[in-house]
Amino acid sequence: MPLSDRVAVVTGAAQGLGQEFAAALAGAGARVAGFDVADQSETASRIGDAFVPFSVDVTDAEARRRAVDGVVETMGGLHILVNNAGIYPPIPFEETTSEDLRRILSLNVEAPFHLTQAALPAMRAGGWGRVVNLASGAVFVGPPDIVAYTASKSAVVGLTRSLATLLGGDNITVNTIAPGLVRTATAERSTGADGGFERIRGLQRVPRTPEAADLVSSLLYVCDPGSGFLTGQTLNVDGGAAFL
């Protein structure tokens, strides 16, 4: 149980990747707080007493602060932050409004930025931390149908690198996981039942659609106490769709 003395926060923990990540961290011994606006009863039922749901809109500055303070107060600290929550509406570039762009950046970039700010005092006080951001394999291939989303996830890669430089001396690592198109309920709503998955499979060297569980080993790797020398990296877990 390598994370038995750690407290983790996972955003977007109600379903999909967030639920899988929360369950994996709990399985490794961590106590996990889930941040989501959606009902997290399914996640809580799956994980049990190691999971504590917080109803919070991570785009709301005051709600973010209260939630992080609540985790530290009720769970005794905060050591791992997984910035998983995000949106990727497939809006044609020419039709993307300023409001659309602000909405995407608010959840995909501003929330991880400010949640990391809020978590830092507790991580520094504990002398140990892991920040894990979620980007996308899209940043390496530049798909034309999700320009705003790709721009937002490229910003997450830059955020990761700068924070890694800033926080390395505090024994806090910062890394990014960049998945391909993972089969989740959210992805299916955004792409259609199989059209998007079939197109992406054609680009992959591993010719199957990934499930949320395919990302778990990468998450546990970057969070492991033995991974303290790994920081500022983007792990491109996309089945080989983009070779760099």
Position 242 scores a pLDDT of 60
Q: Model's pTM, two decimal places? A: 0.91
- Verify whether residue 149 is a known catalytic residue: yes
Question: Which sign does the torsion angle of CA 105, 106, 107, 109 carry?
Answer: positive
What backbone torsions phi and psi does residue 56 show, to the nearest 5 degrees?
-150, 135
How far is it, in rounded angstroms, from Cα 178 to Cα 76?
30
Q: Which residue, chain included where needed, has tokens 């983790």?
A: 8
Position 243 scores a pLDDT of 55
Identify the active-site residue in 88, 140, 149, 197: 149
Task: Express each pLDDT in 3-28 by its tens digit.
Answer: 999 999 999 999 999 999 999 999 99
3-state helix, strand, coil in the chain (%, to 5): 50, 15, 35
**Which domains does the chain possess?**
7-180+216-237 (3.40.50.720)
